[in-house]
Structure 1
Amino acid sequence: MNKRQARHFAIGSTVVATIAFLGLTLDSHRQFNRLTNGDKITAQVTRGKDVWHANNCINCHTLFGEGAYYAPDLTKITKLRGQAYLTAYMKDPSKFYDETRHRRLMPKQDISDTDIAALIAFLDWVSNVDNQGWPPRPLLVTGATFPGTDAPAATPPAARAATSGDNPIALGERLFRSATPACTACHSTAPGVNMAGPSLAGLVGRSAALLAGASYRGKATDVDGYIRESVLAPSAHVVPGPMYSADGQSFMPTTYAKDLSPEQLTQLVAYLSSLK
């Protein structure tokens, strides 16, 4: 390639790249409202954004992977924690962990109830933005490194076929990790690893003991029924502890009744009932 050809190639490449850049820019602007739910930006959402900045939340937390990386990414926090949990947590984070043991340093911000509601509305708007998978490996709220909370290692297709198929326990375990929100966002299956929800290790034995005692307040008569009730109506019996409930209402989401089909619920119960 001589100098003239090289010059023409450079000019042509620049023109093509410029056209592609302008086209992608215009296409992005065309989709912004749909991707970001721009029509859902209410006065409360805007106020929540102001609360986020006023309290310097980004000095520790990240949104869309951008921030200080000192504390968890909160891009999808409202998909992992319900409003009741987030409200109670922001009112007094110290109730949710032992600072001397867990070494978490979330300060009590003394935010008003109105501003807490606005901040949750802002975070909920953020959680519904179509971020197209970015960041590719977001920081989890809890437990990515806790035993029993990380995704299982990949298994060869032959082994996977032998252990799953129509096996309701295997299908239930898959749901445990993939439901919305994923059960692993709040529960571990490792003994003693309590997160936003209690560890599910030994669930069957603890459930049987609960049903046999006088403290149970629900309507179940056997362990499978109790597990099913806990998924569908988590406040039927509230597990004691400020981390798990407030004012008699469990922090566990109440959406599984409509988000899981009867077949999926049966599979999930089958898996949970295998946690002896």
Structure 2
Amino acid sequence: MNKRQSRIFAIVATGVAALAFVGMTLHSHTRFDDLTNAENITPEITHGKDVWHKYNCINCHTLFGEGAYYAPDLTKIAQLRGEAYLKAYMRDPSQFYDEQRHRRLMPTQDLSEVEIDNLVKFLDWVSKVDNQGWPPRPILVAGGSLNVGAHGAGGGAARGQDVRPVAAGNDPRALGEHLFRTAVPVCTACHSLQPGVTLAGPSMAGMAERAAQTIVSPEYTGSATDVPGYIRESIVDPSAHLVPGAMFSAEGTSFMPNTYSESLTDEQIDQLVAFLETLK
């Protein structure tokens, strides 16, 4: 290829690439409203976005993979944490860390209740945006891993979806362990299986023994009569009994999401109970 041919090739290639870029940009703009559920944007959500910018949250966190990469990506945080948890965290992040052990880095921003409410609404709206599996990297939240490409806005163990691992066969305990790592919101985002490792929620190590002690305690406020029943109740109705003195609840509401009865089938919940019952 001589210089003239090289010059023509470069010009043509640049022109084709420019046309493709402009075409894709125009196409994207025609899809933005549908992908972002723009019809659901309220003044409160808009104010929540302003709060996000006002307090420079992007200096540490990312949305859709864009930001400082210093703290976890929050694109799907509203699908991993309940509203009560997010509000309590924003009020006082220090309550969620032992500064001597974890070296708390999240500053207390002194947000007003209105700012907190609207920021949570903004993050909830963000979590429902069809982000086409982006960013494609795993997101770490409190020691758990969520692959956005796989779990996105509607991924994971949705009702009726087969999440059975090939190696697990029909053993409900093996299927339950798989669900523990793949259900949405993913259990490992808040719970460790290691003794003494407390994340956003308590460690599941010794779950069966604690359940047996709890249901015979005079302070127990739930309706379960045995260990499997208590574990099931903890999954489908986490606010039925709040452990006295624990930091995993606020104003009589557990931080744990109460949506598993909708996102999991009864059989899947039974499998999850079977697995957790083995953690003695």
Normalising to structure 2: TM-score of the pair?
0.86
C-alpha distance in 2, partners of 1:175/1:45? Answer: 33
Q: In the alignment, which residue of structure 2 is the partner of 1:82?
A: 82
**In terms of mean alpha carbon deviation, does 45-54 or 69-78 score higher?**
69-78
The alpha carbon displacement at 1:3 in A equals 4.7
* Matched residue SS, 1:140: strand
2:176 to 166, 172, 176: 172
2:265 to 255, 261, 265: 261
C-alpha distance in 2, partners of 1:59/1:241? Answer: 34
Tell whether 2:114 aligns with 1:110: no
Q: How does 1:1-276 map to 2 (within 5 A)?
A: 1-144=1-144, 161=166, 163-276=167-280
C-alpha distance in 1, partners of 2:144/2:213? Answer: 30
The alpha carbon displacement at 1:69 in A equals 2.5
**In terms of mean alpha carbon deviation, does 8-17 or 209-218 score higher?**
8-17
The alpha carbon displacement at 1:8 in A equals 4.1
Name the CA shift for 1:53/1:223 in 2 (closer, same or farther; >3 Å): same
Name the CA shift for 1:96/1:14 in 2 (closer, same or farther; >3 Å): closer
The alpha carbon displacement at 1:127 in A equals 1.2
**In terms of mean alpha carbon deviation, does 61-70 or 74-83 score higher?**
61-70
Report if the CA contact (8 A) 1:85-1:245 is conserved.
yes
Report if the CA contact (8 A) 2:36-2:130 is conserved.
yes
Structure 2 residue runs of 5 or longer lacking an equivalent are 146-164
Deviation per CA, 1:219-276, whole angstroms, max 9, x where unpaired? 1111000000111111111123453101221111111111111111111111111212
C-alpha distance in 2, partners of 1:55/1:174? Answer: 39
Q: In the alignment, which residue of structure 2 is the partner of 1:151?
A: none
C-alpha distance in 1, partners of 2:108/2:5? Answer: 66
Name the CA shift for 1:61/1:9 in 2 (closer, same or farther; >3 Å): closer
The aligned amino acid for 1:10 is A
**In terms of mean alpha carbon deviation, does 110-119 or 212-221 score higher?**
212-221
The alpha carbon displacement at 1:2 in A equals 4.4
Report if the CA contact (8 A) 2:143-2:199 is conserved.
yes
Structure 1 residue runs of 5 or longer lacking an equivalent are 146-159
C-alpha distance in 2, partners of 1:174/1:93? Answer: 31
Deviation per CA, 1:9-41, whole angstroms, max 9, x where unpaired? 334333332332222122211211122222222
Name the CA shift for 1:138/1:63 in 2 (closer, same or farther; >3 Å): farther
The alpha carbon displacement at 1:133 in A equals 2.2
Report if the CA contact (8 A) 1:73-1:138 is conserved.
no
Report if the CA contact (8 A) 1:92-1:108 is conserved.
yes
C-alpha distance in 1, partners of 2:17/2:104? Answer: 48
C-alpha distance in 2, partners of 1:17/1:79? Answer: 37
The alpha carbon displacement at 1:98 in A equals 1.8
C-alpha distance in 1, partners of 2:109/2:20? Answer: 47
**In terms of mean alpha carbon deviation, does 250-259 or 16-25 score higher?**
16-25
The alpha carbon displacement at 1:61 in A equals 1.8
The aligned amino acid for 1:178 is T
- When the two chains are superposed, the root-mean-square deviation of aligned CA atoms in Å is 1.9
Report if the CA contact (8 A) 2:144-2:190 is conserved.
no
Residues matched between the structures, number: 261
**In terms of mean alpha carbon deviation, does 46-55 or 93-102 score higher?**
93-102
The alpha carbon displacement at 1:212 in A equals 2.8
Name the CA shift for 1:108/1:60 in 2 (closer, same or farther; >3 Å): same
